[in-house]
Structure 1
Amino acid sequence: MTRTDYFNDPDAPRPNSIVIAVSAFVLDDEERLLMIRRTDNGYYALPGGRHELGETMTQTVVRETKEETGIVVEVTGLVGIYSNPDHVMAYDDGEVRQEFSICFRARAVAGAPRTSDESSEVVWVPRAGLSDIDVHPSIRLRIDHGFRTDAPPYYT
């Protein structure tokens, strides 16, 4: 399935769904950020995905991070809640989803990087290298907030 992201685009299609999703802001001991390259749109992103029935939100972020990266994480805090109606994702099956994602801080506790159906690349990116990779503005916002450990959680 392919996905097209629209951000502050007046010509974007109107959303027809909303899905609770999570993302993980994970730094290693060298302050490198865990990122994936998404298979559906080619952007680099924080690992994460759809909340499933029967899970807590923290269980979702642990499961999704392991599924997409091979890394097992422990949640340590909240970066923010992102629900910008001007960010929609259009899928080739006709779904047009409004953004709704909860971004958690986490630390790696086990595992080794590996790709999945949703990630063509799993990398630990040094902070100085983040400007060199193709990241959607909504994810860039989460990354900026993740590095601000002195601020309260962000919400929209």
Structure 2
Amino acid sequence: MSKATRRIDYWQDPSAPKPTSRKTSASVFVRDDEGRLLLLRRVDNDLRTIPTGAVKKGETVAQAGVRECREETGLDAEVTGLVGVFSTPDHVIVYLHGDTIDEVRQPINICLRARLTGGHITPQPSEASDVGWVDPADLYDYLIHPALRTRIDHGLHSTEPYIT
């Protein structure tokens, strides 16, 4: 039986392992007509997040964001703008397979604004254990990593792109 990949996120932690890679991911900040935010619960660390994933060879950042939203939530989205570029070295992610470290990543995330265009909420079991719409006033009821919380807060409260 193979062990699942786990993820440990570090934030502003001087004892975090040193990064061995730097990779780009795309995330989408999607709100519905009632102003609720699309969130999912990751299966690899049990934290809430917006749809996010790696930008693959041969695709644009926008294509990656739309693809990740569909894969993780079952919902179709269309990119409408930019929340920001998040590249702080304060965030380090350790990927483990069993007890073995596969990678220590310092991420670069490009967070895109998007609008819902279709689909039905269908969590992908390998990606998300739960998907739903959350009222921004209720966000503090959810476990959200500080790096993701920065993206969400900026998406909620600013119209200018964030760049760090």
TM-score, normalised with respect to structure 2: 0.92
Q: CA deviation at 1:149?
A: 4.1
- Given the alignment of the two structures, is residue 106 of structure 1 paired with residue 110 of structure 2, yes or no? no
Q: Which residue of 2 aligns with 1:132?
A: 141
| 4+ long deviations beyond 3 Å | none
CA displacement 1:92-142 (0-9 Å, x = unmatched): 142000021000000000001111111110010011111100000011111
TM-score, normalised with respect to structure 1: 0.97
5 Å-filtered alignment, 1:39-118, equals 39-93=43-97, 94=101, 95-116=103-124, 117-118=126-127
- Given the alignment of the two structures, is residue 8 of structure 1 paired with residue 17 of structure 2, yes or no? no
- Given the alignment of the two structures, is residue 142 of structure 1 paired with residue 135 of structure 2, yes or no? no
- Stretches of structure 1 that go unaligned for 5 or more consecutive residues are none
Give, in whole Å, the separation in 1 of the partners of 2:48 and 2:74.
16
RMSD: 0.8
Give, in whole Å, the separation in 1 of the partners of 2:91 and 2:158.
25
Give, in whole Å, the separation in 2 of the partners of 1:35 and 1:83.
21
Give, in whole Å, the separation in 1 of the partners of 2:62 and 2:105.
22
Identity of aligned residues (%): 50
- Stretches of structure 2 that go unaligned for 5 or more consecutive residues are none
Give, in whole Å, the separation in 1 of the partners of 2:7 and 2:158.
31
